[in-house]
Amino acid sequence: MAMRVMRGIKPQDVLVLLKIMLWEKKPWRHMDLAEELGLSQAEVSFALERCRRAGLLDSSKKKILRSPILDFLVYGLRYVYPAQPGPLCRGMPTAHSAPPLSQMIVSDEHDQYVWPWDEGTVRGQAIEPLYESVPFAAKKDPKLYELLAMVDALRVGRARERAWALQEIKRRFTGSKRHSNNNEKP
């Protein structure tokens, strides 16, 4: 039987890491992640192992390593998993079009980004989600939805949107209670 080779990380691994960050203080099982994220238990197991090997999870595969994850999100994500706005479609808002950035950044109604999704209610330019189950997982968990939208702002946003997303993601990763307002510069 050939051993499975684990090289690098895959887009669904980012989804798993963000969910673990939100669940850090609560006990969870592989099946919990699978159910919440629309992944198979095997996908979750492989994601956890890839993240451990990449230095994004500790050896128990239960605790995220915040600094390396932040480095990856800030400096690598947009190059490894780039996104380009596509055709207009109906979907779920993302990037600057979704909370919390939609509350910080004023954008034109014709400048909306969405994940294509049959249950979506907003028309905008299509942004391919990191993984196909992202809209499903985002609908189940508003906090995860916000993190995924900010990750998309890092992938596809203009400089100002990336700066706001970065500031907000860092705030959430460090547990800071400080909230931004529209008058602050990132």
The pLDDT averaged over each successive group of 10 residues in the chain (186 residues) is 68 97 92 97 97 96 94 93 95 94 77 93 95 96 97 92 92 69 42
Residue 145 in contact with residue 120, Cβ under 8 Å? no
The upper half-sphere exposure of residue 42, i.e. CA atoms within 13 Å in the direction of its Cβ, equals: 1
pLDDT at position 157 is 87
pLDDT at position 180 is 44
Distance separating alpha carbons of residues 90 and 53, to the nearest angstrom = 38
CATH 1.10.10, the chain: domain bounds: 11-80
pLDDT at position 176 is 66
Residues shown for the chain: 186
pLDDT at position 24 is 86
CATH number of 11-80: 1.10.10
The pTM assigned to this predicted structure is: 0.89
- Which residues, in sequence order, are CB contacts of 151 under 8 Å at separation 6+? 14, 18, 73, 77, 130, 165, 169
pLDDT at position 6 is 62
Rounded to 5°, the CA angle 145-171-45 comes to 50
